[in-house]
Amino acid sequence: MMTIAPDRPVYTVVTLFATQPENQETFLSAFKLSIQGMKKHPGFVAACVHRSLDGRTILNYLQWRSQADFETFVHRPGRSAREHEFLELMAAQGQEPPDRRPYEVVFTTEPSEEEGQ
């Protein structure tokens, strides 16, 4: 289960994909297949995928046990054909490569019980 908290010892990677509204569902379908393979890899903790309501972006939030686990996944021999198909699909549609960066959770907040009354 995904937990977002500054004291959680996970390596967080956020990826933003630009899409065209008419292609967003195609990209989401391909990306879901990629996530299915990813979750079998050692060190994978959780993934969360968001789509923009205007159809122009997909945001992926990944948590890994460590940076080393993530790097092992990214650079493993024989990367999944699905991942290559996904990137080829993006290129064929004239989409920019995804913007993938590691992030650190700085803080989170929720309403207190007094604020909600």
What are the helix and strand counts (H, E) for the chain? 3, 4
**Per-residue confidence band for 98, with pLDDT thresholds at 50, 70 and 90:** confident
Its pTM stands at 0.79
Q: How many of the other CB atoms lie within 10 Å of CB of 70? A: 22
Over residues 52-68, mean pLDDT: 95
Question: In 10 A of CB 65, how many CB atoms?
Answer: 14
Mean per-residue pLDDT, 48-61: 94
Residue 67 has pLDDT above 70, yes or no: yes
Q: CA angle 74-76-82, nearest 5°?
A: 70
Question: What is the model's pLDDT at position 80?
Answer: 61
Q: Which domains does the chain have, with CATH numbers?
A: 11-103 (3.30.70.100)
Mean pLDDT of 44-61: 95
Residue partners of 102: CB distance under 8 A and separation at least 6: 11, 12, 13, 67
More confident residue, 15 or 76: 15
